[in-house]
Amino acid sequence: MKWLLGMICILVWPLVAGAQNERAPDVPELQVDVVTAGEPGGAIFVQQQVLLRITLVSRFPFRKLRIDVPEIADTERHVASRPRTSEFSTYGGSGWRHQRVIALFPSRSGVLEIPSVRAEGAVERADGTNVDFIDASEARVLEVRPAHRYLNGFWWVAADRIELTDDWSKDVASLKIGDTVRRTVTMLAEGVTADRLPELVQRDTPGARIVAVAGARRTRFTPGGATAEVTRSWDITVGTESAVNIPPVSVTWWNTSESRPAASGIPAARIEPLAVDADRLRAELMAEAAARRDQGAFYLALLVVILVLPVTVLVGAFLLAALPSMPDLRLRWRLRTGSGIEKTRALVTWARSTVAPDALTLGEIAADAPSAVSTALRKVEAATFGQEAEQAPDSAVFPRWSRQVRLQRLRDHVSSIIQMVTGSIRLS
């Protein structure tokens, strides 16, 4: 055991010592690493991810900095890690490090030329003076191979790793005939963007109805490169009492880490439907029918209320307008029992509350009154001021006039409501 620990320390110590003794030069030094999966310096395949790790190390803090990365032909380019400057400290000294990562995806085979990357700027020394600097990396050339002939006929995908997982919305062991379960498959891929990945396909199978319902794609970038995620869902409805075998879902791809074809997928699933509980099914159907019946009765009652309520209110309003009002009853009592002056006051009070809101005298009431009402008013006025013997007026003419006025007001109000409703319907 001790010799094993010793060997591990011997192998790991140079790496740790190298990191701890990272040198921070007085003049910033630019380093551009081309990182690909597989063997360093080996050939890459079309659409395979190539990372440009750009690092600039300086003993002094940067005051100005500009890094020019030329356009690279026949590549798809993404920012894998945004520019970031940080301070570090090791046994070898302290300093400042600027890093950024660019992800490239060759779109065609042949020769991929990575031009020189140029950095320029200024650093501030300990004495406060600024020193300009310029540095550039060497140009690189990579061989890009076409899609491997073994995968001819397959959707070409070059990735570092692809893994598929699935999830079921309910336990398949509890399914019965007619039940529906949702299967969601997630494909996680490293070293490739989501738009390069193939569609996930769930093949049909006897005894089940399979319908695709949802799907999504997204790509995120980290300093380690691209990570893509594709999800796809299917609703699977069981249609037989026999066992149903749901086919597997798989993809074939080129493994860039091991330089070989690979396949990833999820295995087939077996559904053995439970026997149908006839009593329970009958009860559920009856409950559903009762719910529909209750719902229909509710809507019918609501329709009746909507149609009958306005008619009822309208009939009630007309009946209320046709019956003698309280002012009419009080006037009838005063005309029967009061003296001449009391009858005059009662008529003015009645008129102001019913037919003539602005009237102050019997003459003003008679101005707009029917002939029968005017005759009765003249009798009351003559008897009050002694022009002739007191005569009992026809008290029934006043409630009739009041009823006619109330009915006419109600008709006008209903007519205005009808015009408003029909006008709004016509505009809409």
169 and 181 in contact (C-beta within 8 Å)? yes
Strand pairing class (130-136; 118-124):
antiparallel
Give the residue from 145, 178, 193 where a domain finishes. Answer: 145
Residue 382 placed within a domain: yes
Which residues of 267-358 form beta strands (DSSP E)? 269-271
How many Cβ atoms sit within 10 Å of the Cβ of residue 268?
A: 12
**Are residues 36 and 130 both part of a single domain?**
yes
Instruction: Give the CA distances from residue 405 to residues 169, 314, 321, 362, 410, in Å, rounded to whole numbers and listed in that order.
Output: 72, 17, 9, 18, 9
pLDDT tens digit sequence for 35-71: 998 766 667 999 999 999 999 999 999 999 999 999 9
Same domain, 233 and 136: no
Dump the DSSP string for 31-74: EEEEE-SSSTT--EETT--EEEEEEEEESS-EEEEEEE----TT
Both 121 and 206 in a single domain?
no
Q: How many domains does the chain have?
A: 3
Is 289 part of a structural domain of the chain? no
- Residue 137 is part of a domain; what is its CATH number? 2.60.40.10
Residue 278 within any structural domain of the chain: no
What would the pLDDT profile of 204-216 be if each residue is shown by its tens digit? Answer: 999 999 999 989 9
Q: Are 79 and 102 in contact (CB under 8 A)?
A: yes
Match 């319902």 to its residue by tokens.
Answer: 213
Question: Do residue 376 and residue 343 come from a single domain?
Answer: yes
Is the pLDDT at 233 greater than 70, yes or no? yes
247 and 348 within one domain: no
Shared domain for 158 and 139, answered yes or no, is: no
pTM, two decimal places: 0.59
Question: Domain residues for 37?
Answer: 22-145
Q: For residue 181, is it within any domain?
A: yes
Q: Which residue has the tokens 């008679």?
A: 366
Residue 158's pLDDT band (boundaries 50, 70, 90)? very high
Res 80: pLDDT: 95
Query: Which of the given ranges, 133-147, 279-293, 322-336, 396-410, has the highest pLDDT on average?
Result: 133-147
Between strands 158-159 and 249-255, the pairing is parallel
State the average pLDDT over residues 154-176.
93
- The arithmetic mean of pLDDT across residues 323-350, rounded, is 72
Q: Rounded CA gap, 339 and 390, in Å?
A: 10
**Among candidate residues 130, 145, 160, the one where a domain is terminated:** 145
338/416 same-domain check: yes
> Domain for residue 221, yes or no?
yes
The whole-angstrom separation of Cα 45 and Cα 159 is 10
CA Rg value for the chain: 48
